Amino acid sequence: MPLEKIVRVIRDNKSFILTSHKNLEGDALGSELALMFLLQRLKKKAVVVDEDPVPVNYRFLPGTDKIKRPLHLKQNFDVGVFLDCANSQRAGKAAELVKQSEITVNIDHHISNNHFGSVNWVSSRSSSAAEMVYYLYKKFFKKIDYNSALCIYTGIATDTGFFSYSNASASAYEAAADLVGCGVSPNYVYGEVYNAFAFRDIVSLTKVISRAESYFKNRLIVAQCPLGLKIESGDMTDFLLSVLRNSKEAEIFILLRPLDNGRVKINFRSRKRVDVNKIASALGGGGHKNSAGAVVNDSVLNVRKRLLDLFKKEFYRG
């Protein structure tokens, strides 16, 4: 059992360096910070290192002020842990540092995970990496401390769209119930994460929505951000896709974001049978069946064409 193996790795070692993927969000931060608190409670040395800064709407999470940047760390650690990363490159510059440890632990729930660690715990049936950390925590302590509970809850809640996506399982709800019992307020977490946008950002984002286009009899919706659009008060991907998801007839939602260096970031969401991980993987990305992403080296116009071709071939033939 990989979980048992990780319990042993924790018991047998003293120092740990933890990381997650670039573009930090709730599950990345929630899982790495909760694991940091667990290790510290076990009197281990634990440091979190991430390439990217913490988004403003997640700074309420305890421990975010302790997160280090890759450049500022030189020591060696017994164990390196990757959380919520389908492959080690997802951690960017932090990956090299974390891989220097003799033991590399990979804790993830992405179906596209390539088992890059020396110990791999990959559970695509788990709602989130944070839910996995919850089970790990329970192997050591019955009662979860408030700070860890807040981090784990935030990870589960944001990755399940506040318990509304297809990964909102009974076990996710059970973990959440336990965490609320530890003092976490769902109302507080929701407010911090989602009611965070500056008014001017909402106005910019609604312009993106107003220019969205639909294809295949409204079954596929594509929205495209203008180059250089900067939204700092909240997660624009979440915002835009959560609005478009309200469309009744659509089953695929795509957000295109041109990046400064001539590349395009693509985020996919889908409903039911449509497996967007398949499409994202064909473009060098990955994720889950109903939620995936990729970064492509191409013009937005070409990317749009390639996507429509792929979806036509895969889902809308004839």
Measured distance CA(208)–CA(212) in Å, rounded? 7
Q: In this structure, are residues 267 and 255 in contact, taking their beta carbons and an 8 Å threshold? A: yes
In the bound state with Mn ion, the residue whose beta carbon lies nearer, of 51 and 84, is 84
* Residue 8 C-beta: closest distance to Mn ion, Å: 25
- Which helix (H) or strand (E) segment holds residue 102: the answer is none
**The pair of three-digit structure tokens given for residue 140, joined into one six-digit string:** 């050591």
251 near Mn ion (CB under 5 A) = no
Q: Is the dihedral of CA 295, 55, 188, 176 positive or negative?
A: positive
Interacting residue with Mn ion among 32, 50, 51, 84 (CB under 5 A): 84
In the bound state with Mn ion, the residue whose beta carbon lies nearer, of 51 and 159, is 159
In the bound state with Mn ion, the residue whose beta carbon lies nearer, of 135 and 316, is 135
238 near Mn ion (CB under 5 A) = no
Q: What residue is closest to Mn ion based on CB?
A: 27
Q: Tell me the window of 126-134, 138-146, 233-241, 289-297 that interacts with Mn ion (CB under 5 A).
A: 126-134
* Residue 242 C-beta: closest distance to Mn ion, Å: 16
CA quadruple 282, 278, 255, 264: dihedral, nearest 10: -20
Measured distance CA(285)–CA(280) in Å, rounded? 5
* Residue 12 C-beta: closest distance to Mn ion, Å: 27
Measured distance CA(154)–CA(280) in Å, rounded? 26
27 near Mn ion (CB under 5 A) = yes
Cβ neighbours of residue 101 under 8 Å, at least 6 residues apart? 17, 76, 77, 78, 79, 80
In the bound state with Mn ion, the residue whose beta carbon lies nearer, of 23 and 233, is 23
In the bound state with Mn ion, the residue whose beta carbon lies nearer, of 30 and 258, is 30
How far is the first Cα of the chain from the last one, in angstroms, to the nearest whole number? 46
Site for Mn ion in 152-191 (CB under 5 A): 159
Residues that contact Mn ion, how many (by CB under 5 A): 5
**The pair of three-digit structure tokens given for residue 308, joined into one six-digit string:** 């429509």
108 near Mn ion (CB under 5 A) = no
In the bound state with Mn ion, the residue whose beta carbon lies nearer, of 268 and 311, is 268
In the bound state with Mn ion, the residue whose beta carbon lies nearer, of 258 and 287, is 287
Q: Tell me the window of 81-89, 215-223, 267-275, 297-305 that interacts with Mn ion (CB under 5 A).
A: 81-89
C-alpha angle 212-218-222 in degrees, rounded to nearest 5: 30
Measured distance CA(268)–CA(82) in Å, rounded? 23
Q: Which residues bind Mn ion (CB under 5 A)?
A: 27, 84, 128-129, 159
